[in-house]
Structure 1
């Protein structure tokens, strides 16, 4: 016979597995019986490790918190708390909203459902939505301006060519050549501002092969006296993704070249890949996301331009055009992803988030590599 209690329990846990909110199921002794994938992601612990443990194994709580748990069980009533500060193993502190709800099925003992909303996560989502909105608005504005500039540039160049044919002196033609040359330079700049507008040609792509290809390109470009090293921290469990390989290479290349220039010939760049479960990019929830970090130990990005770093023409280098990061963000946006940046002296991290759908049943990733390459 089918055990209806077990069947109901499995059904309920299947529902909880698909929630983006962290859920912890405790028994009356406050022992963890179950955590859902969102909790695994928040607490950085697996279900197997958490099951049968005290709550303090996944989150450090004070006596007041424990009293609220006991009160919810004894009086069998829900408890809600907003913007509570808790610390996680490892010392990381987060702000949460939590809801305690006692539950009793049939003749079973009372259980307690602890539902946690990570407020830091909501703040992150709001910032991502703002970044995506600003990127879209900026791109539309730049495209409109670029098209307005391109039309008179074409007329200017054409007029200079016609004038050059009528000039009798070679010396005078040097001036028309300057006009034509500058018009071509501005045309090239405008085209770069517009960036790629092609629809991504997606196919099975191995992110580690992309990173290795870029690393080899960068190493060829390095000066002979440069002391720039690469540290590789790859997760071998990652499957191939559906993406445009050329666009991915351009994205990683733009970011990595910036890192090399920031190091000024001396330092370390880290390529790191990890999967994220039940992760939200902007306002869209994904069951699985690929996180790729490009980290350098350079001087950092000036604080005054960090908020605008993905805008066109924003750069911290006098010789820079400020288009590389804007184009990289646009390319990733076309894949439904997002690039974020955090920077302080000694560490700058560009993180690429991409929705991860298993493109192939063959996981052709290489072994995990943690080492240095020059």
Structure 2
């Protein structure tokens, strides 16, 4: 009974750690686990009641580093220590983790945070994508400021000049200037579109979005392209801007269809739309119990290595004549739904994964 009261008190005191995506253990002066959060429970494959009360060092391939870190913490040799280790797991391969040992606010307590190295890499990649989006917004503002006003002047001057010219051949040149100014104005307007239009939020069924996109793309490419469905029909509706999401998915699927030009000519171009539910997903610094994953998979040549890390930047395109805005706008629309688009590509298989939190 006394132990149960102690466990209950620890869960009340440290229950906030359950909302973290990283693995957390709170230790007593004897290095025994007094609290294990839900993420650590999942990683070890054991209920926390079997973890709490054990020596944390026993869960490591080499516990000597943890003992050294905890001893140093008790001697006030440092406030925190970081190192890498291998976490033992029940009937699974050891998990490589980044270990952070710090002193807890409660007396004679230490907090050990374990960040799976794979999760660390993913977090860094997501942070880069978020930073890219922020840089994109700044680029858009600069483009709008530096291009829009001069374009208006160029177009107006060309129109005035056109009225003064009597030679049809010379007037053709002014029409070219007006046409190209209008084209650049359209490019700037497309860049600004996501930041101008407010979201129209309602209930969204992701499969209705996919079906609308599938119909549009097959109408544009009626020959040589097959778009297969692989849907998890149990995915619930969620709140979002349906038109924004249609545009985001359409941009990704159109990008895939354009990359399949050679396979379309041979008649074996394939795009797969696959939906799944992911559990315990971390996007940025937030952990979500459930998330929608929409995979857009194609059997094209893959993204050139030279632009693979920059595909979501504006004006970056592997296609001759491409504006390089489709994926930029898609990423912006998905991020406005607290989600993210990731990409993995190799010759013969490219996957764009759209992840959006579910309620």
Displacement, 1:84?
2.9
CA distance in 2, matches of 1:335, 1:169: 55
SS in 2 for 1:295: strand
More helix, by proportion: 2
Mapping for residues 175-254 of structure 1, pairs under 5 Å: 175-197=173-195, 198-224=197-223, 226-234=224-232, 236=234, 238-254=235-251
What is the aligned partner in structure 2 of residue 165 from structure 1?
A: 163
**Contact (CA 8 Å) 2:207, 2:231: kept in 1 or not?**
no
Q: CA deviation at 1:36?
A: 6.2
Structure 1 residues 142, 214: closer, same or farther in 2, change over 3 A? same
- TM value normalised by structure 2: 0.73
Q: Residue 326 of structure 1: which of 325, 328, 331 is its match?
A: 328
Say if 1:41 and 1:277, in contact at 8 Å, map to a contact too.
no
- Once superposed, what is the RMSD of the aligned Cα atoms? 4.2
TM-score, normalized by length of structure 1? Answer: 0.71
Q: Which ranges in structure 1 are unaligned for 5 or more consecutive residues? A: 26-33, 56-62, 73-77, 101-112, 359-374
CA contact (8 A) 2:59 2:88 kept: no
The answer to whether the 8 Å contact 1:37/1:277 transfers is: no
Measure the CA separation in 1 of the matches of 2:299 and 2:24: 37
Q: Distance in 2 between matches of 1:130 and 1:36?
A: 28
Maintained 8 Å contact 1:271/1:294: yes
Residue in 2 that maps onto 1:310 = 312
The Cα shift of 1:250 comes to 0.5
Between the aligned partners of 2:151 and 2:316, the Cα distance in structure 1 is 23
Q: 1:228 and 1:145 mapped to 2: Cα distance? A: 38
2:271 alignment partner, SS class: strand
What SS does the aligned partner of 2:345 have? strand
Q: Using the alignment, how far apart are the partners of 1:346 and 1:92 within structure 2?
A: 30
Aligned residues: 322
After TM superposition, the runs of 4+ consecutive aligned structure 1 residues lying more than 4 A away are: 3-14, 34-37, 39-43, 63-69, 85-94, 113-116
Structure 1's 12 and 191: CA in aligned 2 closer, same or farther, altered over 3 A? same
Q: Does 2:261 match 1:260?
A: no
What is the deviation of 1:22?
Answer: 3.8
Say which SS state the counterpart of residue 196 (structure 1) adopts: helix
Structure 2: runs of 5 or more not aligned: 27-34, 52-57, 68-72, 74-80, 102-110
The answer to whether the 8 A contact 2:158-2:174 is kept is: yes
